[in-house]
Chains A and B, each alone.
Chain A
Amino acid sequence: AQSVTQLGSHVSVSEGALVLLRCNYSSSVPPYLFWYVQYPNQGLQLLLKYTTGATLVKGINGFEAEFKKSETSFHLTKPSAHMSDAAEYFCAVSENTGNQFYFGTGTSLTVIP
C-alpha cells in the first residue's frame, strides 16, 4: 500500500525566503514521486517528478526536490520565494507502473510581501 504525508497544511514565508514543503511517503515498491501545484481556480500542474536516476530533481519556477530513500522523503524547496508561488502544493506517489497515484492532503503556501 502507498500513502503520502504532508507535514504542515499551511506554510507562510516572506518574499525572498527559503521555501520548504515536506513530504514523506510509504511504498512497498520503488516509487515514482511527484509535486503538483494548484493555483486558484486552475487544474493541478506538474512541478517536478522523480522516477529513476538522479535523486535531486529540478522542476519549473525554480523548485527542486530530493528523493531520500533512507528517510522516505521527497521535500520540495525553493531558495527564494516569490509572490507568484502562493498556491496549494500536493505531493503524490505512484508505483513505478503508474497504475495508481496517491496524493497528500496538500500544503497551502502563503508568501508575505
Chain B
Amino acid sequence: DTGVSQNPRHKITKRGQNVTFRCDPISEHNRLYWYRQTLGQGPEFLTYFQNEAQLEKSRLLSDRFSAERPKGSFSTLEIQRTEQGDSAMYLCASSLGGYANTGELFFGEGSRLTVL
C-alpha cells in the first residue's frame, strides 16, 4: 500500500460548475477525513467517516458540499455550484479508529481547486 491517494491533483473550473474529488485511503484504515487548506492557514476540518458512516460535519461544510464513502473504502467530495471562495487545497487523510487508534492521520498530497 502506497499511502493515501487523491485525484485529481489539480482542478480548474469556472464558477457555478460542479467538481468532485476522490480519495483512496490506506486500505486497513477505517477512518477517513476531509480537510480544506487555504494559503497561509492550517488544515480546516470538513468532515470525517468511520467506515461508511459520516459521523461529523463542520459548519464550514455548506449545503453545496457533500461527501460520501459508500463502501467504507474510497470517498468522494463533491462541490456544487462552485464559488471563487471554494478555491483551496482539499486534503484527505485516513487513520485507524477504535482500539487500534494510534492517534495519527496519514495525509494525501491534496487536490488543488481553482475556481475562475
A-binding residues in B (CB < 8 A): 4, 31, 33, 35, 40-45, 48, 55-56, 91, 93, 95, 97, 101-110
Contact = CB atoms under 8 A, between A and B. Distances in A.
A99 interface: yes
Interface stretch (A13-21, A43-51, A66-74, A77-85): A43-51
Contacts, number: 62
Contact of B95 (A43, A90, A98): A98
B107 A96 contact: no
A59 to B, nearest CB: 12
B45 A32 contact: no
Contact of B42 (A49, A51, A106): A106
Contact of A101 (B33, B55, B97, B110): B33
A98 B41 contact: no
B107 to A, nearest CB: 4
